[in-house]
Structure 1
Amino acid sequence: MSLFIEVKDLTIAYDGVKVLKNINLNINEGEVLGILGRSGAGKTILMHALRGAEEYENISGSIIYHLARCEKCGHIDPPSKVGETCRHCKEDSMKAFDADFVALSLHDHERRSVSKRIAIMLQRTFALYGDDQVVVNVMNSLTEIGYSGNDAMSRAMELLEDVRLSHRMMHVARDLSGGEKQRVVLARQLVRNPMLLLADEPTGTLDPRTADVVHDVIERAVKAYNMTMVITSHWSEVIEELADKAIILEDGAVVKEGDPHEVAAEFMKMVSHIEKNENVALGEPIIDVKNLVKKYISVTRGVVHAVNDISFDVKEGEIFGIAGTSGAGKTTTSEILMGIVQPTKGDIHVRVGDEWVDMTTPGPDNRGRATKYMGILHQEYGLYTHRSIIDNLTESIGIDLPYELAVRKAVKTLVATGFSEEKAKGILPKMADDISEGERHRVALAQILMKEPTIIVMDEPTGTMDPITKIEVTRSILKARDEMGDTFVIVSHDMDFLQEACDRVALMRDAKIVAVGEPNDVLSQLTEEERLLVAQEA
């Protein structure tokens, strides 16, 4: 195989903090390189550097593309085409040509001609025309590259067949699922007949079944289009299945390179162990729920019990889980806890200092007195994507502090969610879209902690996260509890997550609590039907 990409001593820094440290890599033509690493390890920065679509102020080393180029028309191909007749103009032979993305400026013609042949898939940025049909999205890509053939519609259909999406060609893009949108993105990228595909966590927010479909489509496309690929993933099995070789990035440095199976095994050893402090001293009850009932009237079903006579307490400093399948009543219970939903009957009290507040009575001197010390983190949390992390942690959420004090408090809070102090300082000037999914979740938790709550309710915090991000979220919750002493109530159908994170768990079934206690004991009482439902929901 011909050497295609040569990375030598690549170092990139932001505000004096090195995010990539002396990276050395050789990627051969037609090879699939897998990159494993925790959130914030530097995977996305490396992918963007390889893409060459942005400039870095503090960058050193080199990213050399070894290529074939037609001197007559300027067409670029992989190095194996050296000596062949140019397939574009068919008038000249391809000559060996090197392009260094570090030495060449962003606006250099040679750099741009190479980057045009590089495709990229990102985790969340689908870059589609949301109001247009799927086939129109692909035809727009053909127009963007100057394709003027009369067969544009036919070509678009062929590309959609390549990504197994011809059955959605007339759908409006915004109405597609996440996995389907990723396949449209891939079809749009295949328009340019790329020689390199950079797939940065392309399935990071998808459920496992959908992720498998997308991975299969990517693998088929790489083979059909003879592409080289670099793929990052939190799913170690994806790297084992797709990659020819793999690396682990840790804190911006390559710490291991080699066979994908060996590298994946080493990575799982690094990330799978969760340190849970078994000696946490829990306080007296801070939440007390007695005989709580919430009834709704349904036109078709009559009286429906969302919550049916439940009682439990939560101790100060405890991580308390509420488990159950969809419809069991857990979300309604959490909404009553937060004062969002008024119960039909029953008592719920929250302790503020040494005084108990009645959460069933509205008003600033009653429920309002407690809710200002309570925070909620929804599954679909939202950061302000066009504002920096420091703004997300201060002005955007109504915290007005002198800048120096705001930075100090933000760094301390980010450290409490699992960032190192250096990493916390390094991400403050970044935009929310410039950090990884796991980091965004920790920043969202830090947003809540910045307001100094004593009780935090988390609604399905792991959602469809991949296993490694779930581990990072678990660690951030445990770290925040140890650092801040806050009380957490976590609503989830993710039983593995609850088992790792919680001190106690309440299992809800048919609007009732059927068991409360140690996570292992309680979750062992799930029925086979519930386990199947939980697996489907996950």
Structure 2
Amino acid sequence: MLLLEVKNVSKAFGDNVVLKNISFELREGEVLGILGKSGAGKSVLLHMLRGMEGYEPTEGQIIYHVSICPKCGYVDVPSKEGEKCKCGGTFEKITVDFWNDKKYTYNLKKKIAIMLQRTFALYGEKSVIENILESLYSAGYEGNEAIDYALKLIKMVKLEHRITHIARDLSGGEKQRVVLARQIAKHPFIFLADEPTGTLDPQTAKLVHDALKKLVIDKNIAMVITSHWPEVIAELAQKAIWLEKGEIKMQGSAEEVVNEFMKTVTEFKKFEGVEIKDEIIKLENIEKKYCSVERGVVKAVDGVTLTINEREIFGLVGLSGAGKTTLSKIIAGVLPPSKGKYFFRLGDEWIDMTKPGPMHRGRVKRYIGILYQEYALYPHRTVLYNLTESIGLELPGEFARMKAIHVLTSVGFSEEEAEAILEKYPKELSVGERHRVALAQVLIREPHVVILDEPTGTMDPITRNTVAESIHKSRMELDQTYIIVSHDMDFVLNVCDRAALMRNGKIVKIGKPEEIVKILTEEEKEEMLGHQ
């Protein structure tokens, strides 16, 4: 039965039109994929379907066809019409103009599940089981029934080994699976998934995809899933829409739409080499130890020795848990090593980074820029403010604007696009655009070395090429040095001059990316190759 109608919907933020005349239908149990590169309008559309504040249509209607129990207000799919509710009432079929009929908005929102990339919406200080139980209690479950269902959900998302772990200590993929379990606890009539695996490595993404199949698709729950990765749409959806600059370019079966979209995806651009300068970073026998109640003393970084040269693009690669992020934090001066030597060159002077204080580690940290996956922009401030005043960059108005435009063009925006987004707010940008603004926020400080943690995690293939170009362009123009922490070996092969492969806290090989690929294990190949 018909569940959702989107009728001639447009959305504008000020003068910026992000969706133009969007129309489609969704039936019970159907999975619709929305494909498009960053900035196409995918996330805005999902926020609108969820009823999130500030995302009301400028024009058009969102129509839900559902059944509701007039006695308790419980909402379900339209085919439930005439069936009995748990409370004893009888379901009646209704049609709701979602953004205009406020009478039913609250009840509908309670039964619309959503997964957003980067926004996990978990109780950070509570355990996995407590997070899921909270959602079940809100859905009306009590006592042993709630506990039994929570354990069932935990098994289905394969988190039995994390039941008592605190939510904030989980990995991104684990958090996403807890979110999935919490959302399924609502017994939703529709499931919205916005780039649910955009920031995850292939193995972890597969776990989330399998959980979506088991908990959503196999249970005949309708789903709208957005992605810039064609293979995700092909795997999970039956039909698809291709969005481009806020308009529907194509609509049809998932296979047809994906095949047409793939024709527009270009291979990585090849870049000319540059002259690499002298050493800027020297590490010798660096260790970082942690004490764990369960595992005793853990060496996250174990005897690492390496050098990085000025103007070099250096990759740190390895499986999840190999130690590459911990090593990058030591290089950034965020974490002190437990043992070993670390020197950073400022001008002609070598600074001892193992020593704290303003003349040692504190002196260098301002010259090291770092962008982790969990970046944050001030949501209620403009892009221009985020690039200048928010980071203490005090320049006269026109100079600040000029510098902001310059750095935005260096991360892939055209001058016209850069000029246009300066007065926009982060929520008016796509996730990919926000990522590039966050990278610009790092570069505008004029660092000597920039560390990028999984820089391609949320990007479509086209934008990945743009980021690759921006890295090489800034290296050429600004004498920039990059350290790229990534599981995306395809990106490293194309972008990096050298790379270090880490396993269990140790570096097993340093060399050209092509040399690293030759010694990857089957497990490493599965996680790190095949992202294009």
TM-score, length basis structure 2: 0.78
Counterpart of 1:207 (choices 201, 213, 238) is 201
Partner residue in 2 for 1:357: 348
Q: 1:174 aligned to 2:168?
A: yes
What does 1:115-264 correspond to in 2, within 5 Å?
A: 115-147=109-141, 151-166=145-160, 168-223=162-217, 225-264=219-258
Quick one: distance in 1 between partners of 2:520 and 2:375? 30
1:148 to partner: Cα distance: 5.1
**Partners of 2:522 and 2:510 in 1: how far apart?**
19
The one-letter amino acid paired with 2:369 is: I
Q: Report the CA distance between 1:47 and its aligned residue.
A: 0.4
Q: 1:438 Cα deviation (Å)?
A: 3.0
- Aligned match for 1:100, one of 97, 101, 104: 97
CA contact (8 A) 1:193 1:225 kept: no
* Alignment TM-score, normalising by the size of structure 1: 0.77
**Cα drift, residue 198 of structure 1:** 0.5
1:472–1:335: structure 2 CA closer, same or farther, 3 Å change rule? farther
Aligned partner of residue 399 in structure 1, secondary structure: coil
Q: How is 1:116-515 mapped onto 2 (pairs within 5 angstroms)?
A: 116-147=110-141, 151-166=145-160, 168-223=162-217, 225-276=219-270, 278=272, 282=274, 287-289=277-279, 294-295=284-285, 306-307=304-305, 320-322=313-315, 357-359=348-350, 374-380=367-373, 382-386=375-379, 388=381, 389-403=383-397, 405-420=399-414, 423-424=417-418, 428=422, 435-453=429-447, 455-462=448-455, 465=457, 468-469=459-460, 472-479=463-470, 481-482=472-473, 485-486=477-478, 487-492=480-485, 494-502=488-496, 504-505=497-498
- The one-character-per-residue Cα deviations of 1:259-304 (angstroms, maximum 9, x if unpaired) are 21222233333234344465x8x5x66x313996734599999xx9
1:451 to partner: Cα distance? 2.5
Contact 1:324/1:330, CA 8 A, preserved across alignment: no
Distance in 1, matches of 2:427 and 2:47, equals 13
2:395 aligned counterpart, secondary structure: coil
- Pairs aligned (count): 506
CA contact (8 A) 2:37 2:462 kept: no
Flag the structure with larger Rg: 1
Q: 3-state SS of the aligned residue for 1:526?
A: helix
Q: Secondary structure at the match of 1:270?
A: coil
Moved more, 53-62 or 438-447: 53-62
Q: Deviations over 1:107-151 (max 9, x none)?
A: x12222222221111112222222223232222223324445663
How much does 1:418 deviate?
1.4
Equivalent residue, structure 2, for 1:523: 513
Structure 1 gaps, min length 5: 351-355, 516-521
- Structure 2 unaligned runs (5+)? 290-296, 354-358
Q: Which range is displaced more, 263-272 or 432-441?
A: 432-441
Q: Distance in 2 between matches of 1:415 and 1:145?
A: 48
Equivalent AA in structure 1 for residue 255 of structure 2: H
Residue 85 (structure 1) aligns with: 83
Mapped contact 1:5–1:65 kept (Cα < 8 A): yes
Q: Secondary structure at the match of 1:226?
A: coil
Structure-2 change in CA distance of 1:86 and 1:421 (3 Å): farther
Aligned mates of 2:68, 2:334 — CA distance in 1: 66
Aligned-partner residue type, residue 197 of structure 1? F
Matched-pair contact (CA < 8 Å) for 1:339–1:371: no
Deviates more, 1:444-453 or 1:2-11: 444-453
Residue 197 (structure 1) shift: 0.4
CA distance, structure 1, for counterparts of residue 325 and residue 144 of structure 2:
57
Q: CA deviation at 1:245?
A: 0.4
- The residue number in structure 2 matching 1:23 is 22
Amino acid paired to 1:376: G
Identity %: 39
Deviation at 1:12, TM superposition (A): 0.7
CA contact (8 A) 1:289 1:347 kept: no
> Does the 8 A contact of 2:118 with 2:374 survive in 1?
no
